[in-house]
Amino acid sequence: MPLPPKPTSPAAPPSPLSRNDDQQRATIIVKAKAPSKAIEKFFAPCPRGLEGVLADELTALGAQKIEPTDGGVGFSGPYELGQRACYWSRVASRVLWQQADAEYRSEDDIYRLARAVDWPHLFASHLTIRVETNAIRSPLRSLDFVSLKVKDAIVDKFRAAMNSRPSVDTSMPDMRIFVFLTAYRATIYLDLAGEALFKRGYRRDGLAAPLRENLAAGMLLLKGWRGDKPLLDAMCGSGTILTEAALIAVNRAPGSQRTFAFEKLRFFDASRFKEIREASPIASRAIAEKLLFGNDINPAAIETTRRHLENVLGTEGARAVTLTQQRAEDIPRPAENGLLLTNPPYGERLDELAQLRAWYPSLGAWLKRELSGWTACFITADREFPSGVGFKPSKKTPLFNGALDCRLFEFQMYSGSKREPKPLPTGGIPLEHQRAHRE
Ligand SMILES: C[S@@+](CC[C@H](N)C(=O)[O-])C[C@H]1O[C@@H](n2cnc3c(N)ncnc32)[C@H](O)[C@@H]1O
């Protein structure tokens, strides 16, 4: 999972437990009351590289004290803002609600911190839980052991309050608790989302290698696409980019087809949440003709894309999207100008990469021939892609697609911007270009 802000100093102060009670009260902040108009703290993880886009979304939702950091954004606001962020953010992977925050030196300090949270007030004992710990420069040796201590603290708190306790479910828990450790500070969050927010609820069929939905939406927003100009995905696979674009174009909330963990909290107010759902910041609209264009060489991909579009737009609405099945390099110019955003195959095996690199020049020739006047963006793990197609990128943005360290290359397709493609080495994608994704 992407991690909350890094500490300003790695030095560990003395344990809060070595202080007297008054000092300790000053250090430990525990949130245990029912949500009110009070200002709460949140952290929303997102795919790395999209923190700025997420910060803009949260600003538009009314968040305060917005602090983008590597892999997410901290923010403040009333409790309801957390619900609105779950429902409306296209880029956040989760929305974590801060419950406690304090200095620590040992696992026992963290146990006490978790024990001080009024968990039975938050959710019922028949719900299942999972605790996950992430850390930057923590001196503690086992993060699993920290998770275990926090789970024990929650269970002990329930046992002290009533005769029953939540049980653990590591695959589909009702409540997820996240612990984040810096060198000397521990923060405990309750996840308001439940399943990760990129699971929108419209994906029914699995084709290989789909993009995460929040990465697709984030790239569209990063490129300033708001449903106002033609969009082409020339290699659409399961249609993630097009489906997210459809949601943006019709102003539909990305969370409108799913449920959230906060709906299981004790104080969940269904009628208030209905009001939040119905209070769209912008009126919804129908999808315009000749706005969305999708294409793939594989007929099964086109069928899947069609189904996903129907899941969000309805059968009638999806007809407004032009879907074709042919080679990308044969697509005729769809409109005078627009945005091409596409995710070509990666070629993780050596022979695949060799084939791909032999294909790039014909892709470059198509860009030059059919897409002059367009902005063309490709997300790929192959750093040699620009040389292969023969254009100098006007921008390259590092982004993670799952565990794959990618670049979003942007090319402004002015006529005459073509360079001679240079012959490329056809080796595998270097290991240093692949880093584990945290969420
Ligand atoms: C990495 S996948 C795209 C995944 C997609 N972004 C999604 O979220 O599902 C690449 C796609 O490119 C398609 N493809 C490969 N070569 C192609 C070509 N020459 N023309 C058009 N599509 C091609 C494949 O069929 C595959 O669906």
The CATH number for 153's domain is 3.30.2130.30
Tell me, yes or no, whether 288 and 392 share the same domain.
Answer: yes
Task: Look at the chain and report how many structural domains it folds into.
Answer: 2
- The two structure tokens encoding residue 220: 């569209």
Tell me, yes or no, whether 179 and 221 share the same domain.
Answer: no
Residue 67 lies in a domain: yes
Give the number of other Cβ atoms within 10 Å of residue 142's Cβ.
11
pLDDT in tens, 411-427: 999 865 555 556 555 44
Tell me, yes or no, whether 145 and 233 share the same domain.
Answer: no
**Closest residue by Cα to residue 34 from 113, 120, 161, 115:** 120
Give the number of other Cβ atoms within 10 Å of residue 87's Cβ.
22
Tell me, yes or no, whether 160 and 220 share the same domain.
Answer: no
Residue 45 lies in a domain: yes
- Kindly report the protein residue whose alpha carbon is nearest to atom 18 of ligand 1: 327
CATH of the domain at 401: 3.40.50.150
What is the domain range of residue 134? 16-191
Q: Are 147 and 191 in contact (CB under 8 A)?
A: no
Q: Are 140 and 180 in contact (CB under 8 A)?
A: no
Residue 207 lies in a domain: no
**Closest residue by Cα to residue 66 from 41, 103, 97:** 41
For residue 438, the CA-to-ligand 1 centroid distance in Å is 25
pLDDT in tens, 318-358: 999 999 999 999 999 999 999 999 999 987 777 888 999 99
Task: Ligand 1, residue 298: give the atom nearest the CA.
Answer: 25
Q: Which of 156, 191, 226 is the last residue of a domain?
A: 191
- In this prediction, residue 103 carries a pLDDT of 98
Q: Are 65 and 74 in contact (CB under 8 A)?
A: yes
> Which residues in the chain show pLDDT less than 50?
1-3, 5-27, 32, 426-439
Residue 52 lies in a domain: yes
Tell me, yes or no, whether 225 and 296 share the same domain.
Answer: yes
Residue 208 lies in a domain: no
| CA 12/CA 378 separation, integer angstroms | 44
| CA 141/CA 153 separation, integer angstroms | 19
Quick one: residue 102, left, alpha or beta (phi over 0 = left, psi -120 to 50 = alpha)?
beta
Q: Which of 158, 191, 224 is the last residue of a domain?
A: 191
Tell me, yes or no, whether 31 and 166 share the same domain.
Answer: yes
Tell me, yes or no, whether 187 and 225 share the same domain.
Answer: no
Ligand 1 site-directed mutation target among 296, 353, 356, 379, most atoms within 8 Å of CB = 296
Tell me, yes or no, whether 219 and 182 share the same domain.
Answer: no
Tell me, yes or no, whether 293 and 353 share the same domain.
Answer: yes
- The two structure tokens encoding residue 348: 């993780």
Tell me, yes or no, whether 149 and 42 share the same domain.
Answer: yes
User: pTM to 2 decimals?
Assistant: 0.88
CA distances from 381 to 122, 172, 437 (A): 43, 31, 14
Residue 342 lies in a domain: yes
Work out the angle between the directed axes of helices 51-60 and 79-88 (0-180°, nearest 10).
120
For residue 104, the CA-to-ligand 1 centroid distance in Å is 49
For residue 209, the CA-to-ligand 1 centroid distance in Å is 9
Q: Which residues line ligand 1 (CB under 6 A)?
A: 207, 209-211, 235-238, 240-241, 296-298, 301, 327-328, 343-345
Tell me, yes or no, whether 113 and 232 share the same domain.
Answer: no
Strand partners, 339: 231, 375
- Kindly report the protein residue whose alpha carbon is nearest to atom 26 of ligand 1: 237
Tell me, yes or no, whether 89 and 23 share the same domain.
Answer: yes
For residue 132, the CA-to-ligand 1 centroid distance in Å is 35
For residue 236, the CA-to-ligand 1 centroid distance in Å is 6
DSSP assignment letter at 326: S
Give the number of other Cβ atoms within 10 Å of residue 43's Cβ.
26
Residue 112 lies in a domain: yes
Residue 362 lies in a domain: yes
- In this prediction, residue 61 carries a pLDDT of 96
Task: Ligand 1, residue 207: give the atom nearest the CA.
Answer: 9
